Structures are given as C-alpha cells and as structure tokens.
Chains A and B, each alone.
Chain A
C-alpha cells in the first residue's frame, strides 16, 4: 500500500534550502569563526539525505545525476592542485597566502587560498558521505 507523505515532502521543499544556505554560510565562515569545509560538507549531505528520505532514491538520482565517487576524487584533485600551486611561486608545498581585494559590491575583502583547499575538503566530505548512504540504501 502506497502511503502519502505530503507533510514531509512539503516541509522538505522549504527546509532543504535553509539547510543548504546554512551549509554555504558554514563553509565561508570557517576562516575566522567556527565552521569550515568539513561541517559545511556534512550539512550539504544531510540536506540531500533529507531529500532522499522524503522522495526516494531514484528521484534523487534523477535530479542530481552525479557519480559521487567522482565528486570525492575531484575534491582530492583540487586539494592537491592547491598544494602544488605554491611550486609556481617557488615556495614549499601547501604554502598559503592571502590578500586584500576590492570587490565592486562587497567592498574590501580578505581572500585567502585556504578557501580553495577547503573547497577540496568540502567536495571530499560530500562525495564520501553520499557514496556510503547511496550504497547502503541500494542493496535492500
């Protein structure tokens, strides 16, 4: 018998975007405050897990047609390339730098290359978590 989960599905459609916005906030907040790539990645994957709970596995695969193993691999590649980018400037591996730039709307901001490394961590966490959950969910 097919049951109707309209309250869960409608709630998910609203709450999903709040969780995703929170995860993006956590990701960019990580330099000077609590947060960072790991927690941001876990929050993004928990948003996608909530969508899986409400709509099922096939729907999630249809709207997010990624192979999550490739997401994890590209995250590792980004992290390694960020580390190797310091060779171009003749400094040791994984040396990071930062600078102050003026951006048209936002004004003067501190941009650090550590954000790129954090992006790699974020992609690895999302990829690994969703690979585990999809693999466990499929073999029932």
Chain B
C-alpha cells in the first residue's frame, strides 16, 4: 500500500520535472530558465527523499542537504551573472 503511494508521488514529481524541463527548453528569457532550473533542483531533492523511502535506507540523507546547498549556490551565481555580467567581483568597497 505504502509502496504504491510512494510510486505515485515519484511519478508526479517526475511529471513536474518534465514540465520544468519544457520551460528550460522553451523559456523566452534567461531568468525563466534559471527559475526552472532551481525548480528542477528542488524537485530532485524530493525525488531523492522518496527514493530513499522506497529503498528503505538512510544513506541518501546527506545527498538531500548537499543538493539543497548546491542548488542555492548555483541559482545565486546565475542571478549575479544575469544582473551584473560578472559572477565574482573584484572589489565591493
């Protein structure tokens, strides 16, 4: 019973990832693609949580936190590149 529930949740999250991939491919502007990429990262975190429930293991708990940190870092770097044209500034005064 619980197995079916997890599988349905994983199916819907996969559907959500596919829809955001459509936005990444189609998105008219660059910020659209960055937001969709952030959404893919967060959906992947949920998918990893569900897969670790399906496999009945706690070995993937670190991966969740790590992916959250990397997704945040990547979004910040992309936003700075879009806004200012440079990712790491020389001097900020």
B45-93 residues with Cβ-Cβ distance < 8 A to A are 59, 62-63, 65-66, 69-70, 72-73, 76-77, 80, 83-84, 86-93
- By a CB distance below 8 angstroms, the chain A residues around B76 are 8, 50, 53
B89 touches A57 (CB 8 A): yes
Considering the complex, give the chain A residue whose CB is closest to the CB of B89: A56
Q: Report whether B90 and A58 are in contact in the complex, using a CB–CB cutoff of 8 Å.
A: yes
How many A residues are at the interface, by size bracket? 20 to 34
Docked CA distance A52–B88 (Å): 6
Which listed residue, B63, B87, B90, B91, touches A53 by the CB 8 Å rule? B87
Whether the pair A140, B90 counts as a contact (CB closer than 8 A) is yes
Least CB distance from B49 to A in Å reads: 15
Is there an interface contact between B92 and A39, defined as CB atoms closer than 8 Å?
A: no
A22 near B69: Cβ-Cβ < 8 Å: yes
Interface contact A140-B92, CB-CB below 8 Å? no
| B69/A19 in contact, CB under 8 A | yes
Query: Restricting to B29-45, which residues have a CB under 8 Å from any CB of A?
Result: none
Q: Is the CB of B92 within 8 A of A34?
A: no
Interchain CA distance A26-B64 in the complex, whole Å: 13
By the criterion CB–CB under 8 Å, are A133 and B88 in contact?
Answer: yes
Give which listed residue, A3, A22, A50, A58, contacts B73 with CB less than 8 A: A50
Query: Quick check: is A126 within 8 A (CB to CB) of the other chain?
Result: no
On B, residues with C-beta under 8 Å from A are: 59, 62-63, 65-66, 69-70, 72-73, 76-77, 80, 83-84, 86-93
Q: List 19 A-B contacts (CB under 8 A).
A: A3-B84, A15-B72, A19-B69, A22-B66, A26-B62, A33-B62, A34-B62, A43-B66, A43-B69, A49-B73, A52-B88, A53-B80, A53-B87, A56-B88, A56-B89, A57-B89, A133-B88, A137-B87, A140-B90
Q: A46-B70, A53-B77, A53-B80 are in contact. List 10 more A-B contacts (CB 8 A).
A: A8-B76, A19-B69, A26-B62, A34-B59, A39-B62, A39-B66, A52-B88, A53-B87, A56-B88, A57-B90
